[in-house]
Structure 1
Amino acid sequence: MVLEISQETFNNAVKENVEILGLSEEEALEEAIKQFEAQGVDLTNIIKNPMSSEENEGITEIVQKLERLQKSKSQDATINDTLELLKAECDKGIAQRVAAGKADAYYVLLNIYETFNEKTVQTNTLKTLIALMTMQPDLLDARGVEFIINNLKDQNQDPQLQRLILKWTKECCVAHEMNRQKIFDAHIVDIIKGFLTENTPNEVIREALSVSRALVLDDDIRVEFGKAHEHARVIASETLCAIMSLLSKFKSEEQINIDILLTLTALMVRSEFCKKVDDAGGLELLKSVMETFANSDKIIKNSFKLIKALAGNDECKAHMFTKGFASVMANSLLSSMKSAPAVTAGLAAVAAVTLRNPENANALYQANIADIIVDAMKYYSKEKSVQKAASWAIRNMVSRNKHQSAKFLELGVEELLMEDLKKFKDIEYDVKAALRDLGCNVTLKEEWTGKGGALTTGFRRDND
């Protein structure tokens, strides 16, 4: 279980380091951080550079001014200027956002939005709310959830305001499991589904997809078990068909395709959903996207991630290669060779589609994937992520197709893998697995002798 402390406890520790140990403020701060981290305390939400009292008072005064303007219903330029001033303060950092939150900025902003039925004021209010709650989602309460749902349900709502409300909703979900559950339980999935149509403005669709992904995050270290899988199951069941329809409607628009690919990948938590994408013509659409945006590293990277996710279904994995994915994957790896993230994703996808599937491995082999894998290893000789993914790909390519080993060895892959063993100790298992399946002089190290010793994993060379 992760240990947490209050801001007050942290501040007192810094103060004691100054008063008792005679350290400077900078040294006292550094020492306090070291002390708590050594104890396993999570300091993510702790302000490590507290503001001066003058700065804190300045933020409080801005919030109080907004409250006065709201109560007087003074709808002039002053309120917009003051909102922008508070947003600027919140944009400076977490210390300023915490100070604004303690001054009740959250409630004041909700009151302003509900008091002034004017687009500019409401737009500035939402932008300020987003700035206030970025990495500070704890402020959300039942009123905020109701605010989100009611405003998103309003069919007469301005698209720009809808986009900002969705953006704020996403910020409320990041790193906060309880917020995710409250928003999900308020039936936001039904609302999101309504946004996933070709008649909805692109920016609103993109934010709706972003909320979908935020609802399936598992990033709140304060919660031992979340509901990411359950949320993904429901969202996939309700929205997959609509998302697939969007993929066919927006074939030429790069940004929305990136969001669609990211969302589909996040939702592929069950084999049945991979099959559903296949049945809906998703493989043909994915192939078309990769061909259309062959020069977009972001599209290619996220397409490879989706391929890896879809490979979780054996039937779907087999269908890919009856639809020409071998040449598309090979060409995409070549076209994105200068992007390490895209290459890493591509090699991981190769590993996924060839796992226990010699037919796919043969198809990729015929598409000269061996040359491309070795070229990638040479080009990114210092990139551990590339070398690890390449090791997986090689292992799965040759494990059931031993005839391919000769080609890899001819290209000099053994020397490259041996160099990896010297440079990257923490991927030793992956590299030696590839060497073993290539038929190189590597044998499995005994992992457990049954004598009560520590469990170790790895390989050893015969001459070690």
Structure 2
Amino acid sequence: MHPVTQEMFDGVVKENMDEFGMDVDEAIEDTVKQFQAQGADLSKVIIDLMASSVDSQTVTDALKRLSKLVKENQPPQEYVEELKIIKTQCDIGLQYKVIAGREGAYNIIMDILSKDLGDVEVLTECFITLTSLMTKQPDLLNAAGIQLIITTLDQQTDENVIKHLLKWTRECCILHENNRQNIMDAGILDHLKPLMQVASASLLCDCLGVLRSLVLDDDIRVEFGRAHDHARIIASDTLCFITALLEKFKSDETLMNDVILTISSLLVRTEYCKKVDDAGGLPIILSTLSQFSNSDKLSKQCLKVLKALAGNDELKSKIIKSGAAPLIINALNKHKVNQQTAILGLGCISALTLRCPENSEALFKCGAPNTIVSIMELHPDNEQVQKNASWAIRNMVSRSRHQNKQFIELGVEQLLHKALKKCKKSEYDIKAALRDLECSVELKEEWTGKGGMLHTDEKLKKK
């Protein structure tokens, strides 16, 4: 599936209008059909850009004025007003970003940044404008931009400039695998590590945001990405340091959220789970889940990282022995209205109880059945909730059948049968839960032999 650029799309629309006398709407419709027939990827195209009533004059005029100022080597302070106008226009919507991009906004700003600028305000405004311009439009980044990122991290000391540089870097990575790979290959990690050693809490959040963006796997245009490799490289170099931040900033809710989220994104191997534990991460994560129990956002991240840590069999038992069971159930009961928290919490229970009856028993005694059932009742139409609930139930009861009675008394059989009708994609998981609850369920045999005997080819036998 090859991607189509806005320029390619608009060119075909214009051709349809010029060659075949179509009006704008007809030309757009025909162009879409053409590209779809070719199996092209239109995800980066604003289909109705040419038909929309976008007033591009403001951003175009600002870019012309800015370009003239740069060519005439006017004082850098003169650039700020025009940069703010361009940024404001880009913030209106993607149509304006596309227009600014086509009018050369990226190259003009890069020309400004290529000068020996000592003006912090201008530098900051350039990175703010680039961030607005390239959010959801990261294709504009080129080799010069990547080199600028590395050079600025090396040479710049003003925290505000660095913060906005990092925000721009993060946006360049989102939805763009090639940018991620090129930025990693340029050695950004070697420049971020020393910065993180001395950064303030606010700047650390931006550093961690860049690290997380480098391990994304969200570019549909690329069949195979390097998210796992990037996570492995970053975890090997920084995971112990990042885990140590938990203790250092344990009262800072915002930074704790970012640290735990980053740790979760790096736990791509079981040995990394052990590394977090060896660095003293588990007690602090559980303490955070208790201390910030009223924070849905932070509770969600704690549940997510506990699920990831449970991928290590040794840690799976240690998590519950460390007193996690009541904290998990309490967090779920407090925040079960939030679907994402419910999904992560049920996934956490499922991971902790997989082939581990001792963990199942501890969660059972803390009221897990009531919590699971109440979440199923609260979100009957959310397939992921019902699927994760089915996993949690199956793993809890599969080696602890005495728990079946309480689940049944809570009405889980009826809930699962209702989910079975609504959630067709999760049929197997829901039926597995019903089976292990020893409920009535019609199981489909996925494959059956025909009962015939194997025959050896007579010609081969003769040979």
Query: So what's the TM-score if we normalise by structure 2?
Result: 0.90
Which AA in structure 2 matches 1:229?
H
Which AA in structure 2 matches 1:217?
L
- Report the equivalent of 1:307: 306
Question: After superposition, where does 1:20-419 map in structure 2 within 5 Å?
Answer: 25-26=24-25, 28-30=27-29, 32-33=31-32, 36-37=35-36, 40-51=39-50, 55-56=55-56, 59-75=59-75, 78-115=78-115, 116-154=117-155, 157-197=157-197, 199-419=198-418
In structure 2, relative to structure 1, the CA distance for the partners of 1:15 and 1:71 (3 Å cut) is: closer
In structure 2, relative to structure 1, the CA distance for the partners of 1:12 and 1:158 (3 Å cut) is: closer
- The CA distance in 2 between the partners of 1:350 and 1:37, in whole Å, is 43
- The CA distance in 1 between the partners of 2:64 and 2:182, in whole Å, is 30
- The CA distance in 2 between the partners of 1:54 and 1:330, in whole Å, is 51
SS of the residue 2:218 aligns to: coil
Q: For residue 320 of structure 1, report the CA deviation from its aligned partner.
A: 0.3
Which AA in structure 2 matches 1:354?
T
- The CA distance in 2 between the partners of 1:9 and 1:69, in whole Å, is 31
Q: Is the contact made by 2:106 and 2:130 (CA closer than 8 Å) also made in structure 1?
A: yes
Deviation string, structure 1 residues 357-391 (Cα, Å, up to 9, x no partner)? 11111111111111111111122223222211111
Q: For residue 309 of structure 1, report the CA deviation from its aligned partner.
A: 1.0
Q: For residue 416 of structure 1, report the CA deviation from its aligned partner.
A: 0.9
- The CA distance in 2 between the partners of 1:145 and 1:23, in whole Å, is 42
Q: For residue 436 of structure 1, report the CA deviation from its aligned partner.
A: 0.5
Structure 2: where are the runs of 5+ without partners?
A: 451-463
SS of the residue 1:414 aligns to: helix
- The CA distance in 2 between the partners of 1:354 and 1:428, in whole Å, is 21
- The CA distance in 1 between the partners of 2:407 and 2:53, in whole Å, is 66
- The CA distance in 2 between the partners of 1:108 and 1:79, in whole Å, is 11
State the number of aligned residues. Answer: 448
Q: For residue 93 of structure 1, report the CA deviation from its aligned partner.
A: 2.9
- The CA distance in 2 between the partners of 1:275 and 1:399, in whole Å, is 27
Deviation string, structure 1 residues 69-118 (Cα, Å, up to 9, x no partner)? 12333237642111111112222333332332233322221222343321
In structure 2, relative to structure 1, the CA distance for the partners of 1:53 and 1:391 (3 Å cut) is: closer
Q: For residue 420 of structure 1, report the CA deviation from its aligned partner.
A: 1.0
Larger deviation, residues 47-56 vs 212-221 = 47-56
- The CA distance in 1 between the partners of 2:417 and 2:53, in whole Å, is 59
Which AA in structure 2 matches 1:365?
F
SS of the residue 2:321 aligns to: coil
- Report the equivalent of 1:457: none
Q: Is the contact made by 1:195 and 1:204 (CA closer than 8 Å) also made in structure 2?
A: no
- The CA distance in 2 between the partners of 1:445 and 1:139, in whole Å, is 51
- The CA distance in 2 between the partners of 1:195 and 1:406, in whole Å, is 56
In structure 2, relative to structure 1, the CA distance for the partners of 1:103 and 1:15 (3 Å cut) is: closer
Query: So what's the TM-score if we normalise by structure 1?
Result: 0.90
Larger deviation, residues 72-81 vs 314-323 = 72-81
Q: Is the contact made by 2:163 and 2:203 (CA closer than 8 Å) also made in structure 1?
A: yes
In structure 2, relative to structure 1, the CA distance for the partners of 1:221 and 1:383 (3 Å cut) is: closer
What is the aligned-residue RMSD (CA, Å)? 2.3
Which AA in structure 2 matches 1:85?
I
Which AA in structure 2 matches 1:403?
H
- Report the equivalent of 1:454: none
Which AA in structure 1 matches 2:85?
L
Deviation string, structure 1 residues 10-43 (Cα, Å, up to 9, x no partner)? 3355457768998753455356445644654211
Which AA in structure 2 matches 1:227?
R
- The CA distance in 2 between the partners of 1:252 and 1:54, in whole Å, is 47
Q: Is the contact made by 2:390 and 2:433 (CA closer than 8 Å) also made in structure 1?
A: yes
SS of the residue 1:196 aligns to: helix
SS of the residue 1:257 aligns to: helix
Q: Is the contact made by 1:217 and 1:228 (CA closer than 8 Å) also made in structure 2?
A: yes
SS of the residue 1:91 aligns to: helix
Deviation string, structure 1 residues 240-273 (Cα, Å, up to 9, x no partner)? 1111111111112221111111111110000100
- The CA distance in 1 between the partners of 2:38 and 2:360, in whole Å, is 48
Q: For residue 49 of structure 1, report the CA deviation from its aligned partner.
A: 2.5
In structure 2, relative to structure 1, the CA distance for the partners of 1:19 and 1:106 (3 Å cut) is: closer
Q: Is the contact made by 1:159 and 1:204 (CA closer than 8 Å) also made in structure 2?
A: yes
Question: After superposition, where does 1:442-461 map in structure 2 within 5 Å?
Answer: 442-449=441-448
Q: Percent identity?
A: 46
- The CA distance in 2 between the partners of 1:420 and 1:20, in whole Å, is 54
Structure 1: where are the runs of 5+ without partners?
A: 452-464
